Amino acid sequence: MPALRGLPHRGNRWEASGSGHYSVHVSTDATPEPTEAAPDALDLSTPAPTGEPTTPAPARAARRAVVAEDEALIRMDVVETLRDAGFDVVGEAGDGEQAVQLVTELKPDVVVMDVKMPVLDGISAAERIGKAHLAPVVLLTAFSQKELVERARDAGAMAYVIKPFSPADLLPAVEIAISRYAQITALESEVADLAERFETRKRVDRAKGLLMTKMGLSEPESFRWIQKTSMDRRLTMREVADAVIEQVGGASS
Pairs from 195-201 (Cβ < 8 Å, separation ≥ 24): 199/238, 200/236, 200/237, 200/238, 200/241
Asked if pLDDT for residue 46 goes beyond 50, the answer is: no
Q: For position 12, what pLDDT does the model report?
A: 43
Asked if pLDDT for residue 208 goes beyond 70, the answer is: yes
Kindly list the domain boundaries of the chain, sorted by start residue.
64-165, 192-253
Classify domain 192-253 by CATH number.
Answer: 1.10.10.10
- Picking from 143, 152, 92, the residue whose alpha carbon sits closest to that of residue 125 is 152
Asked if pLDDT for residue 24 goes beyond 70, the answer is: no
> pLDDT band at residue 50, thresholds of 50, 70 and 90?
low
Asked if pLDDT for residue 39 goes beyond 60, the answer is: no
pTM of the entire predicted model: 0.61
3-state secondary structure of 217: coil
Question: Do 64-165 and 192-253 come out as alike in CATH topology?
Answer: no
Classify domain 64-165 at the CATH superfamily level: Response regulator (3.40.50.2300)
> pLDDT band at residue 54, thresholds of 50, 70 and 90?
low
